[in-house]
Amino acid sequence: MNAPHLPKVAGIDSTVPAPAHTVAPASATPKAPAVTPRTAPGAVIQDRLAGWVSDLTTLHELTERLARTAALPDTLHELLRAGAALVGARRGLLVLEPGDGLGPDTTVGLGLGRADLGHLETVPRAAMSYGRILDGPHGGEAGIARPDLFAEDGLDPRHREVAARLGYAASYTLPLATQAAGRLGAAVWLYDEPAEPAARQRHLIGLYTRYASEHLARIVELERTRACMTTISEELLPTRLPRVAGVRLAARHRSGPRGGGDWYDALPLPDAALGLAVGSVTGSGPSAVAAMGRLRASLRAYAVMEGEDPVAVLSDLELLLRLTEPARCATALFAYCEPALRKITLAGAGHSPPLVVGERRTEFVETSLSAPLGMLACWEAPSVELSVEPGETVLLFTDGLLRRTGDPVDRAFARLHAAAASTPRAAHADPGAVADHVLRTVLPDEAAGGCLFGRSEPGQGQGRGRGRGEDHTEDVVLLAARFD
């Protein structure tokens, strides 16, 4: 009588020893029970099938968790956490270093603080397993197990010192790579005692990292696109704000993850005047960024020729947009400022009104309602004149600031007004401080991470960073002008 054949299970190599399904992933693999006259062959098969189903369930849950991550830091930490559970480790680190050299490059730890990662970076790279993988001739094609570091002959003295300081005695390292993207990095899991993953654990972590590398490659490509779009958007905006007697300027700009069409501008005009503009182009991505650049450049030209008449400037801009890009519309606000007289003449096309912030008043400028550029056959709306007091700041902003709050429009306006009204008295002297206070108050979750790019007048410095608002698609622009 022929021996029964073991059925094949999709995704699992039947040659890998299968444990009892009650055994945790971190434990050692028990030996399969011997077939005796008292043990039915069907029981052995059922036991192995139960183990394979348990492994499939575990892999499914872990890959589902990884698939839900959309930001690079979340993906890296989830990969480390899941890998540690599969190989039975408590700590680890992941070195992201794409082989094409285009970045992003970073190192994250699991159960390791910044100081611990700093100690590990002092170990010669060639002495670390991830260094051998990343710098190997083929980018590292297999994992590296080091079951007992202190028993190794020729262990680097610095590595021995750091391992003793951090309290780990063994490691298991796997490359992160895909056929299309090539090498992405390496993940290292650390054991407190001499140990190494069993054959079943190596099989499971191999399957998991194969999927995780594909997901990581997509996230890396997305991060590169975001960084590229942010750089292009920033380069299309003013590299510095002008110095004009009687007024001080500051700007804050935040690009959405897909790159949007929000912009701002400040340019000196004849007769010691100053032109201020903010606007937004519909859509997102490269086409919106390109349209934003063309629109801003055109407005600068119209402002130099007829800036004292904001209505004429926006009318010319509307005509250009309708003739050259009939499928696109935009909002814009242009203000002609005379700092010596503290007088502003402005016109808006479907744009939010400016906000005047001072010690005695905080109010929105009353402007006439107007459709965005490109929506009407002929755009025209009356201009508005405004006089400001010494020490008051005029805030020009795009609708992205309101939309990012997640509130209805009327509540978002009230929130912005309350934030401006609560500006500390000491901050009124600096337009950058006023803008930062408004942003921190209106968008506390994002500003907590320093997410907003900033530009101020020369000598005032500029800051940039990234916060937790990566899921928002809208750009944010805030241009502040304080009149002396």
Calculate what percentage of the chain has a pLDDT beyond 90.
Answer: 55
Structure tokens at 462: 């500029």
| 105-112 long-range contacts, CB within 8 A, separation 24+ | 106/72, 106/76, 108/73, 108/76, 108/77, 108/80, 109/80, 110/77, 110/80, 110/81, 110/84, 112/166
H-only helix segments in 285-388: 286-306, 310-324
Tens digit of pLDDT for each residue in 184-207?
Answer: 999 999 999 999 999 999 999 999
Phi, psi at 407, each rounded to 5°:
-90, 160
Residue 462, judged by CB atoms within 10 A of its CB (0-12, 13-18, 19+), counts as: middle
**Which of helix, strand or coil describes residue 464?**
coil
Structure tokens at 122: 């002092």
Instruction: Give the pLDDT confidence score for residue 169 in this predicted structure.
Output: 96
Would you give the distance in Å from CA 204 to the centre of its chain?
Answer: 31
Instruction: Give the pLDDT confidence score for residue 27 in this predicted structure.
Output: 41
Phi, psi at 60, each rounded to 5°:
-60, -45
Q: Show me where the domains of the chain are located.
A: 41-223, 237-483
- In residues, how long is the chain? 484
Tens digit of pLDDT for each residue in 400-433?
Answer: 899 888 889 899 999 999 999 999 999 999 999 9
Is the predicted pLDDT of residue 326 greater than 50, yes or no?
A: yes
Phi, psi at 462, each rounded to 5°:
-150, 145
Instruction: Give the pLDDT confidence score for residue 378 in this predicted structure.
Output: 66
Structure tokens at 136: 């190997």
* DSSP annotation of 439: H
- Mean pLDDT of all residues in 46-64: 85
- Host H or E run for residue 394: strand 393-397
> Fold match between 41-223 and 237-483?
no
Distance CA 290, CA 261 (A): 8
Quickly name the fold that domain 41-223 has: Beta-Lactamase (3.30.450)
Is the predicted pLDDT of residue 302 greater than 60, yes or no?
A: yes
* DSSP annotation of 348: E
Quickly name the fold that domain 237-483 has: Phosphatase 2c; domain 1 (3.60.40)
* Helices first, then strands: H and E counts in the chain: 12, 16
Question: Do residues 228 and 284 touch, judged by C-beta distance below 8 A?
Answer: no
Phi, psi at 279, each rounded to 5°:
-165, 170
Tens digit of pLDDT for each residue in 433-457?
Answer: 999 999 999 988 665 443 444 555 5
- Mean pLDDT of all residues in 174-185: 93
